[in-house]
Amino acid sequence: MSLITIERKILEKNDAIASENRKNFSSKNIFAINLVSSPGSGKTSLVERTLNHLKNKTKIVVIEGDVQTDLDAKRIEALNTPVVQIVTNGACHLEANLVRDAFGQLKENNIEILIIENVGNLVCPAGYDLGEDVKVIIASTTEGDDKPLKYPAMFRNSSVLIINKIDLIPFVNCSIDAIKKNALSINPTLKIFEVSCQTGAGIHEWCDWLENQIKNE
């Protein structure tokens, strides 16, 4: 009987491809976002708002991840934005190789921002690096203010928190201050934006921040 002692990361294959993706994006001066949230928080609506706000000044491309359908890609295409839809056929998260292959299908030059919309899920995508510059997490007011405490890994691994659906605050049992307090207890360095993709409130501030990131690339 013998023991083989190794110390190998189980997700090393994904991490290696993610790191190639990161190098690739960085060499092209692309700022890459991994957009995560639970289903129905408003990821695609945020992408649409962002595209409408920035489309005349910034070259943005989108990779959509969904378990089924190309409904989201159609919404992005309608805004004349290059998009590739990844259908995971049941898988609960995107992996770095899927993003590499999808990015390879985009024939655009001079891309400034790549938005990767992950599968709606606050658990599994947390462990999978895609090669992004930042993870942006959306928490919407209709989900309640305890989400950060229930899904700490995802909030811990994100750099930006977008609180969406602030227009619904009068109708839901949720406090924006409590979302912030809970999120900051898990990740004190989170940059937070409060938006409504329905009314457009707060989108300007988010897009300003995004534009500044391109300048820093």
Interface with other proteins by CB under 8 A: which residues? 1-13, 91-93, 95, 123-124, 126-128, 149, 152-154, 156, 184-189
Give whichever of 78 and 123 is closer to other proteins, judged by the CB atom. 123
Which DSSP state fits 1?
-
CB of 47 to other proteins, least distance (A): 24
The residue type at 144: G
Give whichever of 93 and 180 is closer to other proteins, judged by the CB atom. 93
CB of 40 to other proteins, least distance (A): 20
What is d(CA 59, CA 27) in angstroms, rounded to the nearest whole number?
16
What is d(CA 183, CA 110) in angstroms, rounded to the nearest whole number?
35
Based on its alpha-carbon atoms, the radius of gyration of the chain, rounded to whole angstroms, reads 17
Give whichever of 125 and 202 is closer to other proteins, judged by the CB atom. 125
* CB neighbour class for 88 (10 Å; exposed up to 12, middle 13-18, buried from 19): middle
Give whichever of 71 and 153 is closer to other proteins, judged by the CB atom. 153
What is d(CA 141, CA 41) in angstroms, rounded to the nearest whole number?
9
CB of 8 to other proteins, least distance (A): 5
What is d(CA 205, CA 196) in angstroms, rounded to the nearest whole number?
12
CB of 150 to other proteins, least distance (A): 10
Contacts of 212 (CB under 8 A, 6+ apart): none
CB of 91 to other proteins, least distance (A): 8
Q: Give, for 18, the enclosing helix (H) or strand (E).
A: helix 12-27
Give whichever of 148 and 202 is closer to other proteins, judged by the CB atom. 148
